[in-house]
Chains A and B, each alone.
Chain A
């Protein structure tokens, strides 16, 4: 197939779920009957929730396209439709070629069956013919690196072996269109690299790859173009760095709005003490969502407690790498702060962190508020920011992407030489 032929063509695609179906669907036949008898003419309340709507786009063979967006933006729904697990509610998709998905590796693996038996069973579930599996059997075993355990039931495998074998089967499906959902979150670093390499090969060999991930590093690394979904809508489809920019902007913007508007979170109402705004600003006080490596981080946290006030406020925050987890945590009690005991009805606190040696990547901030020992408010991942690479060392080279969280600042000395 030529490289510019279309692999997927989506026209006005939408998927809706009936909220009633989710909330009070009759779960037994009797309930349905009694419901019908009590209210014979009542149509179930059809509050329709659109998980995805008006998605129109084309993806060509040989393209690797990232799909990014916050939780609930519709990423997984899109993959579910493309992989034919669920029907769309409107619109249509024309699919050119066989679709393979790595939505959940190891689907259909049976613990009592041996590795060998599971390869054949899993391959068949993924749509491979027996002779296709037999032909690729050695390659699959080789890729997984579990050949000594092939005749052992997989319930005796370690979770790492299990995942590797499962991924190996899925990776040898050789579909024209490959859907990948966050599989890289599993396995050890070495195996992840192997998987990324495999996906790159797929793309090079002319397949279309759709890649859902929360790891901007991986998306940036693998995908030329990217779609950004927001609340079921396609917000942007184009160059990856532009998509990530937009995603981060919208994340940080919405963090600001959300903190102010999420007044009902965990039973809080507007009159109770709470975190109202969290912002990331630069040295000049301007709101930012991107930092350069080695730039100081300033976080502004606004707390409102209009009626009751707060006696002994403690603000705690942590900075987290989206893939590798927590970078560090501080609170005002631990380090001491200008916050004193006394009745605050409002305060805005700025926390300035000395230049952090953060690698390029995406980071999030969690904020907690407590009054003495009593925790009042929690805002997990309330804002996110990206750290961009710069020519840190003045050598014209970028730091190693996605190798850890921090960059190191070494001084090299020659102790002896010849």
Chain B
């Protein structure tokens, strides 16, 4: 046969190549699914986009009260509300991707069992709506900061880098947990709990220098520490930034993303049979 087949279907096992070419061919689907999520979220809600803001604002107020007024933890001389708000929009972005990506496969089970497309599209598409939420939060935050006279300097230009690292870390965790959730629904229940744990084990509402020195070593294992501090450093100019912690977090984020993708691909082939 002179003509080469478009593709060969045969049994697969073990690790698979990522087949990024095919993923690229389905980029329109990724965008369509992302746009669908955005549309559905605001259709038939009375307050629409306001919901994106209410959550971080109220949480920032709670955090500011708890960590700033009650516990009197360090916020590096930033007003506690704005300190917490900065942490929360970055954290919200991370948490949004992890939880939406994890649920993406189970939610789309009917499509998966009927049509073929690279399944990676599903968890990856959730990034789009999370990015939009983040953008809205960021704009509000920048307006607020300028309003209180805290104008970010040139370091703000590094923001996209931190955002990308957050995205890689979150998508990596999300993809892998989506694949596990497809088989073991337990993770659906465990995940919110784990996410909550990390909300307190990361410098979201307080600064890293509030952590007792003897625990810093353990604390620093969490890659979110380096990312959150870098994020805040870029916007608020806080002093907890360290290249070591951020470098470590970057390496971990990239590794988690790559591993998440491969781990997902490994499970992908049997999805239609287990969902």
Interface residues in chain A, defined as those with a beta carbon under 8 Å from any beta carbon in chain B: 5-6, 9, 17, 21, 27-30, 32, 80-99, 101, 103-104, 107-108, 110, 112-113, 117, 120-121, 124-130
Contact = CB atoms under 8 A, between A and B. Distances in A.
Contact of B116 (A85, A89, A124): A85
Contacts of A121: 32-33, 36
A21 B33 CA distance: 32
29 contacts: A6-B3, A21-B273, A27-B185, A85-B116, A87-B11, A87-B12, A88-B9, A88-B11, A90-B11, A92-B9, A93-B9, A96-B5, A97-B6, A98-B6, A101-B115, A103-B114, A108-B110, A108-B111, A108-B115, A112-B40, A112-B44, A113-B36, A113-B39, A121-B32, A124-B33, A125-B32, A125-B117, A127-B26, A130-B28
A28 B184 contact: yes
Top 6 A-B residue pairs of the complex, sorted by shortest distance between their CB atoms: A84-B116, A94-B5, A92-B10, A124-B29, A124-B32, A93-B9
Nearest to A8: B5
A17 B272 CA distance: 12
A375 to B, nearest CB: 36
A126 B28 CA distance: 11
Contacts of B114: 85, 103-104, 107
A29 B190 CA distance: 11
Contact of B8 (A32, A94, A110, A113): A94
B39 A117 contact: yes
A86 B272 contact: yes
B266 interface: no
A220 to B, nearest CB: 27
B105 to A, nearest CB: 14
A93 B186 contact: no
Given A30-B186, A120-B32, A88 B10 contact: yes
A189 B187 CA distance: 47
Contacts of B269: 87
A373 to B, nearest CB: 43
Contacts of A9: 1, 5
Given A92-B8, A92-B10, A127 B117 contact: yes
Contacts of B29: 124-125, 127
A80 B272 contact: yes
Nearest to B1: A6
Nearest to B108: A108
A189 B36 CA distance: 33
B127 to A, nearest CB: 16
A80 B269 CA distance: 12
A86 B117 CA distance: 11
Contacts of A104: 114
Given A85-B116, A110-B40, A91 B6 contact: no
A17 B40 contact: no
B113 interface: yes
B8 A85 contact: no
Contacts of A29: 184, 186-187
B69 interface: no
A28 B185 contact: yes
Contacts of B8: 92-95
Contacts of A84: 9, 116
A27 to B, nearest CB: 7
Contact of B110 (A5, A82, A86, A107): A107
Contact of B115 (A6, A32, A83, A94): A83
B14 to A, nearest CB: 13
Interface in B74-123: 110-117
B270 interface: yes
Contacts of B6: 95-98
B199 to A, nearest CB: 23
